[in-house]
């Protein structure tokens, strides 16, 4: 056995001893938690500075994040690669800036989270469907709500203004 300090109480010479901690460690089953799959996402930095970083993903979601690379206020508006971390309560971790920005076709709807309210413009009409329920908006002003059960709640007064009201 060599004379330099050994950080482990057992050496390779006595590792075969059935009572050694090293031997017990070798015989212990290995358990691992499943790691979640990681996906690199692309987004645009919309705020960098004042201790806060916000990203708009290509899908339009806005998420807060932390940087694993150097970022400055002049990087606002640049595209970045980021991952979402479960360990950080699903905050984004920016792994770098894109050297060659990605161009995508913008969807027909325009939504903005910078306005006090979001506006979507579908000149040909819009239908949202989920299972047996749907909401249809026609360009002529007709709004149709369909479902097996419709609940309408108001915390204040509920006003219905119409030329006429038909029930059943």
pLDDT per residue as tens digits for the range 114-136: 546 667 788 888 899 888 899 99
The secondary structure of 31-65, three-state, reads CCCCCCCCCCEEEEEEEEECCEEEEEECCCCEEEE
pLDDT of residue 8: 43
User: In this structure, is residue 69 part of a structural domain?
Assistant: yes
Determine whether 65 is exposed, middle or buried from the number of CB atoms within 10 Å of its CB (0-12, 13-18, 19+). Answer: buried
Supply the range of the domain harboring residue 143: 120-148
pLDDT of residue 104: 67
pLDDT above 60 for 110: no
Number of domains in the chain: 2
Residues 6+ apart with CB under 8 A from 81: 40, 41, 42, 94, 95, 96, 97, 98
pLDDT in tens, 42-100: 999 999 988 789 999 888 888 888 888 889 889 999 999 998 877 777 678 899 999 88
Q: Domain containing 71 — which CATH number?
A: 2.40.50.140
pLDDT above 80 for 18: no
User: In this structure, is residue 71 part of a structural domain?
Assistant: yes
User: What number is the average pLDDT over the span 143-153?
Assistant: 85
pLDDT in tens, 149-159: 888 877 777 77
Q: Judge if pTM exceeds 0.95.
A: no
pLDDT above 60 for 109: no
Residue whose entry in the numeric block shows the structure tokens 């905050």: 91
User: In this structure, is residue 153 part of a structural domain?
Assistant: no
pLDDT of residue 157: 79
pLDDT of residue 154: 74
User: In this structure, is residue 16 part of a structural domain?
Assistant: no
**Bridge partners, residue 62, by sequence:** 56
- Considering the domain architecture, whether residues 128 and 84 belong to the same structural domain is answered as no
User: In this structure, is residue 24 part of a structural domain?
Assistant: no
User: In this structure, is residue 50 part of a structural domain?
Assistant: yes
């Amino acid at each position: 056995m060599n004379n330099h300090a050994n950080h482990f109480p057992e050496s390779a010479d006595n590792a075969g001893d059935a009572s050694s901690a090293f031997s017990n460690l070798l015989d212990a089953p290995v358990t691992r938690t499943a790691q979640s799959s990681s996906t690199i996402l692309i987004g645009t930095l919309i705020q960098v500075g004042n201790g806060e970083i916000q990203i708009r993903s290509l899908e339009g979601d806005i998420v807060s994040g932390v940087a694993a690379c150097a970022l400055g206020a002049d990087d606002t508006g640049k595209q970045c690669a980021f991952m979402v971390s479960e360990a950080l309560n699903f905050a984004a971790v920016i792994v770098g800036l894109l050297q060659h920005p990605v161009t995508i076709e913008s969807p027909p709807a325009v939504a903005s989270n910078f306005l006090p309210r979001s506006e979507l413009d579908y000149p040909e009409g819009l239908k949202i469907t989920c299972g047996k329920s749907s909401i249809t908006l026609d360009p002529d002003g007709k709004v149709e709500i369909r479902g097996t059960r419709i609940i309408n709640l108001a915390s204040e007064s509920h006003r219905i203004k119409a030329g006429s009201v038909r029930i059943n």
